[in-house]
Amino acid sequence: MSRDYIARDPKTGRPINQGRATKQADIRSMLPESGIWERIPRGDIIPLASGEAKIVEIPRSEGGGLARRIDGILALNRVLPTKIIDAHEVLCEALDDDEGVIRIAALRAMPSFAIKKHDDLFIYLSDRLMEENEHVRREARECLRKVAPVFPSGCEDILRRELRHENKQHRSDAFATLKITSQNWVETGCLHLDELIREEDVDLRRRGAKILRTITAKGGATGWDLISWSLQDEDALVRRSASTCLPTLANVESRVATILVEASMFDEDSGVKKNVIKTLKTLDMHSPRVAQLIEDGARDRDPALRKACIDQLSIIFSGEKLLEVATELLRQETRPELRKRLERLSRDIDWEGTEEEKNRSLAPLDKVSEAFTEIELPEIDGVKPIPEKTIEKATLSDSENLFPPRSGEVESIREGHKEESGRRAARKQDERDF
């Protein structure tokens, strides 16, 4: 297996730092299925693939077996570098052979061999996609799926034709190929999608809109335009597919996403509104435009959109502004659950809240440790203070026990109690006599 090229400084010999590694095609996904072709001696590949040799016997040391022409065609990517041109001629002849099995074998060998020399191979691929043999056409579509992400320019016209094919299976395979190609080459994806969303055939626009998510993050201004145009399409399914790009776009370019959400917020399709609601939660809440957008959405006829916007009010507004907006919305809201939410937002708890609500906003006191409450305090003037733990559990009627009188004051206190009791009894008797 060949090693990756490493750029080195000519003076020091050390690797040169690169911004990012060069993206290379993974040849393993383009190789045919494993088989006896992997063990054919390199010197016997071209004679076997061209038909000069009918059978090649594999040595027992290599696993043994008999290789035929089909195996030789599959092994053309293993020829020595000096035999590439000869192998290319043999592959072109096999792609145009009279027997269908030979053409199928050549199509399976084409993706891996095209990396070494692709001249004229795509012309043969185009012809195979239009022939009558269904098995050959199916293999040609699989071949296109492998080579288009690696050779987007060479397959551009072929893919354009297949995307508009009348056969449903051809069209489905072509759009699957376009999705893979768009992941590797965003410019190619934007080129095809720009043409598809302008088509009169609604099926093409629907299929193209589903691939917009592939180019959302890296499509740049071109991708934003494609999403914007699709969001204005007359077909609801096209708009729905385009709206799925909005959450991703909000993370990449929040300002552009805000503009598109503003244009799509009042769309009649429920699927579009669902994606708009999902996007609202990811937008920049500090933007005045987003604040106005959410305030307008809280007045929409759709209950789901109103609920999503009302839930965001406490994030974008505060203080008097929040009370003002919530009070205004409360006047026109009819749903009980939304009215309950707005009532909480329109009340100033510090002034109108219950005692429990006010206390809820206060910070709790630090809990006194048990070790501190059990400390023995010294006596003062003969009076021993009661531990704090006991004071917390005491009642007003226990005041005499909490603060016992000093010696010599007990008799005077008792006399005072007796006199007070006598005066109360005299007042009651006077009231009865009167």
Residue-wise pLDDT for 134-159, tens only, equals 999 999 999 999 999 999 999 999 99
229-243, 326-340, 378-392: segment of lowest average pLDDT: 378-392
Q: What is the SS3 assignment for 66?
A: strand
What are the tens digits of pLDDT across the range 72-98? 999 999 999 999 999 999 999 999 999
Short-list 12, 15, 13, CA closest to 4: 15
- Cα 77 to Cα 42, 109, 141, 164: the distances in Å are 10, 7, 20, 32
> Cα–Cα distance between 184 and 177 in angstroms, integer?
11
Residues 6+ apart with CB under 8 A from 269: 236, 239, 240
Is the pLDDT reported for residue 243 higher than 90?
yes
Candidates 125, 150, 152, 151; CA nearest to 139 is 125
Question: Highest-confidence range of 101-105, 314-318, 337-341, by mean pLDDT?
Answer: 101-105
Rounded CA separation 102/70 (Å): 6
Mean pLDDT of 407-411: 55
Does residue 99 or residue 6 have the better pLDDT? 99
| Token couple for 170 | 């051809």
> What is the signed CA dihedral for 104, 106, 111, 116, rounded to 10 degrees?
180
CA distance 340 to 347: 11
Average pLDDT over residues 297-314: 77
Percent of the chain clearing pLDDT 70 (strictly above) = 74
And the tokens for 407? 């010696």
Angle between helices 288-297 and 303-316 (to 10 degrees): 140
Q: Which residues pair with 383 in a beta bridge?
A: 380
The pLDDT, as a whole number, for residue 155 is: 93
Please, are residues 72 and 49 in contact by the beta-carbon 8 Å criterion?
yes
Rounded mean pLDDT of 179-198? 93
Helix H or strand E encompassing 57? strand 56-57
The band of 19, judged by pLDDT with boundaries at 50, 70 and 90, is: very low
Q: In this predicted structure, what is the pLDDT of residue 2? A: 44
pLDDT interval class at 112 (50, 70, 90): very high
DSSP track, 131-169: SS-HHHHHHHHHHHHHHTTT-TTTTHHHHHHHHT-SSHH
φ/ψ region of 61 (left if φ > 0, alpha if ψ in -120 to 50, else beta) reads: alpha
| E strand residue ranges, 102-244 | none
Q: What is the pLDDT of residues 39-60, one digit of tens each?
A: 999 999 999 999 898 898 888 8
Round to whole Å and give the CA distance between 97 and 113: 18
- Asked if residue 311 has pLDDT above 50, the reply is yes
Highest mean pLDDT of the ranges 75-89, 300-314, 380-394, 417-431: 75-89
First-to-last C-alpha distance (Å) of the chain: 124
| Angle separating helix axes 202-210 and 236-243, nearest 10 degrees | 10
Give Cα 25 distance to the centre of its chain.
26
